[in-house]
Amino acid sequence: MNAREVYAVLPIKDTDDAKQRLAGVLSAPRRQELALTMFEDVLATLGRVRELAGIFVVTADSSAAAIAARHGARVLSEGAQEGHTCAVAAAAKRLQSKAMLTLPGDVPLVEEEDVRQLIDAHRDAIRRDAPAFIIVPARDERGSNAILCSPAGAVPLTFGADSFLPHLAAATRCGIEPKVLKLPRVALDIDTPKDLARFLAIPSQTRARALLERWGYAKAANSAL
């Protein structure tokens, strides 16, 4: 088995009514702006990881597509309107024998080091002439916040709030020993006011933090913890 190039896949759904669980603290226009800003944070980080062979953004959202183009990512529309799982599956089908790293657009704290840890784990599998399935659980260890699958379609992926354990089982059924990486920055996806408060409790130079501070949300967030 030859060493496989790693491509990042970032699915982004329509942001018109994004992050509905934040509706109690942010208006719809602000939720949309926050979703796009977090997406750009993630995309910018991926763009700084030279070990990646390329970046695909799967979306039908025109604003997200424009951001992707600015960062040199390739935009795919196939599967984009059918949910996260279908979007990733369509990208995996396109990548075939390549390696695929997929992560969501709402983990703005992700840094290059986190991505490189995933790629290093993939390289270890390649040296053993083995397929790879590396997964980063969400903070609550229920969801799947990042997966590196090599080859891209080696394990069928089904995303959702309780996908972590089913993904481990799916990899095992496919004859692949899954590797779990605990990466706190990747584990924190932003869905609720408590997530926002946790995010703001961690110093960062992200676009998302600057946006929330400009709105004056940072002080109010402390009461959500």
Please give the single-letter amino acid code of residue 111.
Answer: E
pLDDT score for 125: 85
User: What angle, 0 to 180 degrees and rounded to 10, lies between the N-to-C axes of helices 28-47 and 207-214?
Assistant: 150
Instruction: Report the predicted TM-score, pTM, of the whole model to 2 decimal places.
Output: 0.94
CA dist., res. 212 & res. 41, Å (int): 14
CA dist., res. 8 & res. 103, Å (int): 8
pLDDT score for 219: 62
pLDDT score for 150: 95
Asked if 108 contacts 42 with a C-beta cutoff of 8 angstroms, the reply is yes
pLDDT score for 17: 86
- The per-residue b/e assignment along 17-42, b for 16 or more CB within 10 angstroms, e otherwise, is ebbeebeebbeeebbbbbbbbbbbbb
Q: Which residues of the chain have pLDDT under 50?
A: 1-2
pLDDT score for 122: 94
Residue 12 CA: distances (Å) to CA of 15, 105, 188: 8, 7, 17
CA dist., res. 97 & res. 176, Å (int): 16
pLDDT score for 191: 95
pLDDT score for 101: 98
The encoded tokens of residue 181 equal 């990486």
